[in-house]
Amino acid sequence: MRPTDIMRGSPPPPEAQVTKANWRTYPAIRWGFTHARELLPTAAIRRAAQPSPLVEAQRELTGLTFTTPEGQPTTIAETLQATDADALIVMHRGVILTEWYGEGMSETTPHMLCSVSKSICGTLGGVLSARGLIDPSDKVTNYLPELAGTAYDGCTVRHLLDMQVGIRFEEDYDDPNGDVARYRHSSGWDVAPPGVPSGDQRGFLTTLRPSGKPHGKLFHYVSPNTDVCGWVYERACGAPYAKILSDYLWRPMGAAEDASITLDSMGAGRFAGGISATARDLARFGEMIRCRGLVQGRQIVPGAWIDDIHDAGDRQAWVDGDLAFVFPKGNYRSNWYTVDARRRDLAAVGIHGQWIYVDVASDTVIVKLATQGQAMDIAQDHRWLAGFRAITAHLA
């Protein structure tokens, strides 16, 4: 069955129905990732009353050829088809040159972002810090005393943003009985097995324990860290995360469409991976990052925060961490990856194929959304990175 046959009919036949039991598996994932609001409780992240304009000067870039890391010749068009891509936007110096959508997608279709949501959270932190609402150097327990005695006791907000918490948690997406499975049960993303209580996300966070390693020394990728970070924002601002994000980032940057975030049984958001948004609004977001936080002459995110993302990543913590093989020349800061520290190119990356690539050197922003059947596919990520580099070289 093709993804485009899913949820067809009134009602769809059983084999074509999408439920919480299958919404992130192929072929249901295409429908699931573009209809999260129909599957899970969500909160709206409100758009701007006047969207920031997007300038278009369409050019055919999908025919560009490049060589995969395995040495095979290919094109952008072939890669779109081979990697279950749903959307591609290439923006150069603020102008959209290429905008492509797969079947069932359009410029107004919201798409699940997975861990691109983390980079949005990290960027929002810069706004809140500049307004004096949070201090990245503060201890997490200053905001959330209920986390005393957990893995988060003694760590700072900066440790959350940089994934440098000494926590016992394995980010294994394929283990049905592992930490991620229990985390997803608590977040309301998966149905817990019979006899296993699903609980709630914040209850789950209080169960996490330290690894015995010090905070601030080692990059260790743990999605719940970002959920704790969003919880800090809520406590500091006295408002739900969706409203904070809308008021301080989404509306000010000129988003054209409402985004949304999934909620657990107690109304807590999945800040680490639960945002859905359109490709065009992600292009606006990426362009704001490229322009040091500026949108139409207005400073939305402090330029110094963007500079810090580029320049202050802890290279040694990254090298000693658990994802250095993905970007061997990179680092990580405020929930953004630096792909190559010498080039200073940034990436927001989510499982199943979500990307925002920001290359200041060539004035380029690329958004790519997908519904890959495999959660983490490094070969496809590296193929796309080669494609991004071919695009930036062509534009430069």
Cis amide linkage into residue 41, ω under 30° from 0: no
Using alpha carbons, select from 338, 188, 252, 264 the residue that is nearest to residue 50. Answer: 252
In whole angstroms, give the CA distance from residue 133 to residue 305. Answer: 15
* Three-state secondary structure string covering 342-388: CCCEEEEEECCCEEEEEEHHHCEEEEEEECCCCCCCHHHHHHHHHHH
Neighbours of 100 (CB within 10 A): 18
Using alpha carbons, select from 231, 62, 15, 68 the residue that is nearest to residue 142. Answer: 231
Query: Which residues are identified as catalytic?
Result: 115
CA distance to 103, 189, 346, per residue, from 372 (Å): 15, 18, 22
Structure tokens at 108: 């107004």
Side chain identity at residue 78, one-letter code = E
Structure tokens at 34: 């573009």
Structure tokens at 81: 């088809």
In whole angstroms, give the CA distance from residue 396 to residue 391. Answer: 9
The number of CA neighbours under 13 Å toward the Cβ of 91 is: 27
Looking up tokens 């402090």 gives 302
Beta strand ranges found along 71-171 (DSSP E): 73-75, 85-92, 95-101, 111-112
CA distance to 120, 236, 327, per residue, from 324 (Å): 22, 33, 6
CA distance to 64, 166, 224, per residue, from 230 (Å): 40, 19, 10
Is there a contact between 260 and 42 (Cβ–Cβ < 8 Å)?
yes
